[in-house]
Amino acid sequence: MTALHALRTPEPARSLPGLERDQLFARAEAISADLAKRGAELDRDGQPPFSEITELKASGLLNALHPSEIGGGGLDWVDGLTLTRILARGESSIGQLLGYHYVNSQYVVWATEDREKAHRLAQDTVSRSLYWGAAVNPRDPGLTLTPRGDHYVLNGRKTFSTAARLSDWINVSAAIGDKIAQFAVPTDREGYIAHDDWDNIGQRLSDSGSVEFRDFPVSESDFLFAPTAADVPSPVKPTFNTPLIQLVFANFYLGTAEGALATAIDYVRTTTRPWLTSGVERAAEDPYILERIGEFRASLRAAAALADQAALGVQTALVRPNVTARERGEAAIAAYESKVNATHVSLDVTARIFEVMGARATAGRHRFDRYWRNVRTHTLHDPVFYKARELGDFALNNRIPEVSLYS
């Protein structure tokens, strides 16, 4: 914890007692350690992690970012993203699922125009430890809302919906005539169909298959705000969901790579044999292995420091009264710098751990390739070179990214 937070500025007093905050971090570390022990088995089975989500609910981690006044943890986004990274060290998909829940559950609170309704949603989330997903993939054909009597029905399909079978509630966006509606609904209503079609090489526990809505009932009371034309600018605060989800990506990539490095270190200490011309009796004394491990460690620590600084920048902007689009854009640039860097570092480390572990580490029973498969799969979510392009445009032309679900 000390190393991860070394670059942070002094924090304001928290409403949650320090011991309780420490307990949340201790629970995250314990859950992560248990996941790491079962990592190969979980990856091999590739089943939706129902029991793991239940454990997160029982631990209080799902409620960590909600105010302590309603029973939440009262933590900020710097802490929430660090918790995401900790979970990903044990199992990448679980880190992803925790981070996604944080963004989805907080977005509802920010975006809901009726503040009493927003408060009720937050209270319900905390009291029932609800897990929040979303069906908002903008690259799919849109979902459509059609009036029917005193309500609407939702129809359509989304190809990717992380936690499709795990979510208690979801955020959804859909077309209603020439406008866009956003709403929050429980997944236990008739007409919600989560398909068992997630078969990718990585993030096998993320349950990111398709969802389908067949005459799914939606009422006006479910809307977060009145339907608006697609070209109407959103209020600034809800648009922070994009830099925050990109920081979730960066942190669970780094957590996955940190888990890979920890696994490699343990394997070298216990199993790897020294090379015959190394002149040492233990692989842990081999100078070339030491050099590689040192490289990996330095890269990951630097990337984690950048991620922490970006998180602090976004958190600072987010709580600023009347935050401007420019301030949001500059915070987003810091987040995207972290995302680009974390992508490259995590892909490099997870692929190269075999250089220090040796040929026997490629045995299928270990499934050490899961770290690379997990990072490789999700880093294709949105092309990293487009993020780098946005960074270059900011550096050369002082242009902030155009607001979207990807920027």
Query: What 3 state SS string does 331-394 have?
Result: HHHHHHHHHHHHHHHHHHHHHHHHHHHCHHHHCCCCCCCHHHHHHHHHCCCCCHHHHHHHHHHH
Alpha helices, DSSP H, located in 112-169: 115-128
pLDDT value at residue 5: 32
| Six-digit token string for 242 | 């994009």
CA dihedral sign of residues 59, 63, 263, 164: positive
Encoded amino acid at 201, one letter = I
Encoded amino acid at 213, one letter = F
Encoded amino acid at 109, one letter = V
Closest CA to 243 of 106, 141, 140: 106
pLDDT value at residue 286: 97
Is residue 210 within 8 A of residue 164, CB to CB? The reply is yes
Give the Å distances, CA to CA, from 359 to 4, 260, 320, 355, 356. 32, 16, 53, 8, 9
Give the Å distances, CA to CA, from 331 to 31, 307, 335, 391. 31, 12, 6, 12
Domains, in order of start, for the chain: 18-132 (1.10.540.10), 133-229 (2.40.110.10), 237-397 (1.20.140.10)
Strand intervals (E) in 94-210: 132-135, 144-148, 151-158, 169-176, 179-186, 192-194
pLDDT over 90 for what percent of the chain?
92
Which positions of the chain have pLDDT values less than 50? 1-17
Residue with tokens 């029991």: 51
pLDDT value at residue 16: 41
pLDDT value at residue 142: 80
pTM above 0.85, yes or no: yes
Closest CA to 261 of 337, 356, 192: 356
Encoded amino acid at 101, one letter = H
How far apart (Å, rounded) are the C-alpha atoms in residues 270 and 51? 31
Give the Å distances, CA to CA, from 214 to 37, 112, 154, 192. 40, 25, 7, 7
Cα diameter, the chain: 82
Closest CA to 211 of 160, 286, 248: 160
How far apart (Å, rounded) are the C-alpha atoms in residues 235 and 223? 16
How far apart (Å, rounded) are the C-alpha atoms in residues 314 and 319? 9
CA angle 278, 284, 286 (to 5 degrees): 25
Is residue 90 within 8 A of residue 32, CB to CB? The reply is yes
pLDDT value at residue 3: 34
Mutual angle of helices 115-128 and 92-111, in 10-degree steps: 150
